[in-house]
Amino acid sequence: MAILNIIKEGDPVLRKKCRPVEEITPRILQLLDDMHDTLEKAQGVGLAAPQVGVMRRIVIVEIEDKKYEMINPEIIETKGKQEEIEACLSVPEKFGLVKRPQWVKVRATDRNGKVYEVSGNGLMARCFCHELDHLDGTLYIDKAIEMYDADDIEDAE
């Protein structure tokens, strides 16, 4: 397993649309494992393949003691609205107020090639939306109503 370099805002890779995964190969499985290690070290809740320089439609989310590996994920249903503060491992020391659905349902393929659906509410819904946006070259800062520096957030606490 390896800790991968997380690409930061300004790198054009983060603005590109990812290609679907056609076949789950040993290389894809290794990428999933490395992404989990990288996310754990960075202490984040989600990571998309383009954030580590791989232009494939792969996302991992680790939230509420559950780990989701999503290959070729797509949001198939949404409900409600929420406005909350978001951050991103690729945009360090910045935060933004973003509007997202309150609830989402995602269809994806797991590492064994099985298609599954998962739904999430609140933070999980935000995380799913945030990570899937990365696959189309969109960062949360593109959708933010307001942006804050880390100092602004600390002052508010």
Please give the positions annotated as active site: 131
* Residues 6+ away with beta carbon under 8 Å from 97: 83, 84, 85, 86, 144, 145, 146, 147, 148
In whole angstroms, what is the distance from residue 109 CA to residue 52 CA? 20
Q: Kindly provide the residue ranges of all beta strands, DSSP E only, lying in 18-143, ordered along the sequence.
A: 46-48, 58-63, 66-79, 82-88, 91-100, 103-109, 115-121
In whole angstroms, what is the distance from residue 125 CA to residue 12 CA? 26
In whole angstroms, what is the distance from residue 133 CA to residue 11 CA? 16
Written as one letter, the residue type at 75 is I
